[in-house]
Amino acid sequence: MLKTLFSIFKKENTPTRALDVASTKGNTAHQSGSPQANSVPQPFTREQIDELFTRAGQSLDRGDTVTALDMYLTVLKHVPDFEKAHVMAGFLYQQRGNLTQAKHHLQTALSLNPQLADAHYLLGVIASAEGQRDVLRHNYRASLKLSPHQEHIYLALAFDLHQTQELDASISVAKEGLLCFPNSKPLWASLGNFYYLQKDMLAAHDAYVQARQEDNLDLGLEYNYAMVLSILGQPMNAMEALDRIIKRDPQHVMAHFQRGVLSLQCGQFKEGWQEFEWRWQMPALREVRFKSARERWDGSQDLRDKTILVLSEQGYGDTIQFCRFIPELASRGAQVIFVVLGPLKELMVQIPSVAILLDETAPLPEYDYYCELMSLPRALGIELGDIPNQPSYLAAPVTSVQKWKGILGATDRMRVGFVWSGNPQHANDAYRSIPLTEARAAFAFDAEFIVLVKDLNPDAKADLDSVPQVRHFGAQVGGFADTAALIDQVDVVLTVDTSVAHLAGAMGKRTYVLLSYHADWRWLLEREDSPWYPSVTLVRQGFGQPWSAVIDHTCAEILKLPRLH
């Protein structure tokens, strides 16, 4: 690493040069006639000091850092104010991890000559190792002010700003760097990443186009480019980018997985389910994947008189959506053990053909095969036209319905179940949830809104308490049975893509699902209907369209519907 760094520092004409001090040219500390020149003890003459400094640089070029440091220290013993020798000694001490000595020499160099850009840069590197962010930024900026043509410092400073979520500042620094290095692929790639994090996908796309090199494929960059294309609604172009990655690296887990997601989104289920299996190679899922000595069912094994263990996975909505495939296993002669997340158990008792229903904490009985719930479509060979889409397959428990019927009472208004945000920890929450400031557009309509989520943050609760036609029951909603009963008692559900959307669809309730321009794969592309839920209408946000406008239009349509209660 040291040799690589120094080889960069020694390059005289490259934009990434950081150190250019392996000569005495211009260093007045030992010029003829200076006091220091007369102070050098014999036998070291000025020419010998020059030669020693040069030989130290040559030793460093060979990777002999021990000899190089000894020589620089010898130079300083005889010429204590040789500023460039201080910089080189500071550099070598920093590389050794002796940051105290490194700072001493670099600060001494700057006290002799405050115009040393390299010394500022190295102090910034040390500050990074010590976690002194303000010192890092001060020194990086000072170095750039003295010597703007340092590509690596723009990259390092922009990245540090990104780490504290100062994306506007990161973008500004990257742009400054591009003024000096307009063809810098790393700076364009970094700029694209910062725009991506800001959700400015058009700008990210343009930056990635500048950064990409077709003849020298950077797999990380190409993956980010594919994701931007996907978000911008160009799935075919995104798949082409993913194919380029897979061609270069056939075991690239995320490229395979995202290709599966895009294939499913495009309705190409056969290929999609196959590639979707790569999710189990993702670190987060690989660690929690069910492990068993029994054989995993892949669709080829005969299930007659066999017991199969089906394990729910991922979110509540996924379980509600995919539990429809379980009856097919029973029709093939299997006895089904179904393991679900505890909060869903009271609803999943309704799934026909389940012999044993367990929550995730229960001990497992004997079984012959196992299969994860979201792998059933692949094993069953499900194509787009094969999705079981009965009008409803779940219902609210009767006791819960009676309870909430009494709590809600009667109304002469349209009663709308409303969900505008989901789990903030969800990886795609930024593209699922709607800010309450925009969701409030619904409350301008003459309807009663029942909030179908249990927990609200204090600010949202205080805000909604001032809206008389909004009712939120908080802790009174004990679980999915209560949520299902509330859905049962409303005329229509208006929701973003959460478990409520799946529950309402599975219950056959008239439901409008609000989808961002970057919607989840299961809602396919462009369609207003869903092959998963006949009672669901999909409302798609246009790119750049404010949510308030989408909600305003949708609520106007809802109020045209006949009431159910």
Angle between helices 219-231 and 201-211 (to 10 degrees): 150
pTM of this prediction?
A: 0.86
Return all residues near 139 (Cβ < 8 A) that are at least 6 apart: 120, 121, 123, 124, 127
Return all residues near 83 (Cβ < 8 A) that are at least 6 apart: 27, 29, 108, 109, 112, 113, 116
**End-to-end Cα separation, the chain, in angstroms:** 73
In this prediction, residue 462 carries a pLDDT of: 86
CA 29 to chain centroid, in Å, comes to 53
Q: Are 353 and 308 in contact (CB under 8 A)?
A: no
Rounded distance between C-alpha atoms, residue 375 and residue 279, angstroms = 10
Rounded distance between C-alpha atoms, residue 454 and residue 473, angstroms = 7
In this prediction, residue 26 carries a pLDDT of: 36
CA 155 to chain centroid, in Å, comes to 21
What's the CA angle centered on 496, arms 484 and 232, to 5 degrees?
150
Low-confidence ranges of the chain (pLDDT < 50): 1-41
Closest CA to 154 of 108, 188, 111, 199: 188
Rounded distance between C-alpha atoms, residue 132 and residue 135, angstroms = 5
Long-range contacts of 226-234 (CB under 8 A, 24+ apart): 226/255, 226/258, 227/196, 227/258, 228/192, 228/196, 228/201, 228/204, 229/205, 230/258, 230/262, 230/518, 231/201, 231/431, 231/517, 231/518, 232/201, 232/202, 232/205, 232/543, 233/517, 233/518, 233/525, 233/543
Residue type, 408: L
Backbone angles phi, psi at 4, to 5 degrees: -65, -45
Q: Are 37 and 46 in contact (CB under 8 A)?
A: yes
Model pLDDT for residues 7-54, shown as the tens digit of each residue: 333 333 323 333 434 333 334 333 333 344 444 445 578 889 989 999
Rounded distance between C-alpha atoms, residue 543 and residue 192, angstroms = 19
104 class by beta-carbon count within 10 Å (0-12 exposed, 13-18 middle, 19+ buried): middle
Model pLDDT for residues 404-457, shown as the tens digit of each residue: 999 999 999 999 999 999 877 777 888 889 999 999 999 999 999 999 988 888
Q: Helix, strand, or coil here: 111?
A: helix
**Torsion over CA of 523, 526, 528 and 532, rounded to 10 degrees?**
-30
**Structure tokens of 169?**
């500042």
Closest CA to 295 of 287, 307, 285: 307
Q: Are 251 and 228 in contact (CB under 8 A)?
A: no
Residue position matching structure tokens 């690596």: 152
Beta bridge mates, 58: none
Q: Are 235 and 244 in contact (CB under 8 A)?
A: no
Residue position matching structure tokens 């290929």: 271
Q: Are 110 and 120 in contact (CB under 8 A)?
A: yes
424 class by beta-carbon count within 10 Å (0-12 exposed, 13-18 middle, 19+ buried): exposed
**Structure tokens of 416?**
């709308």
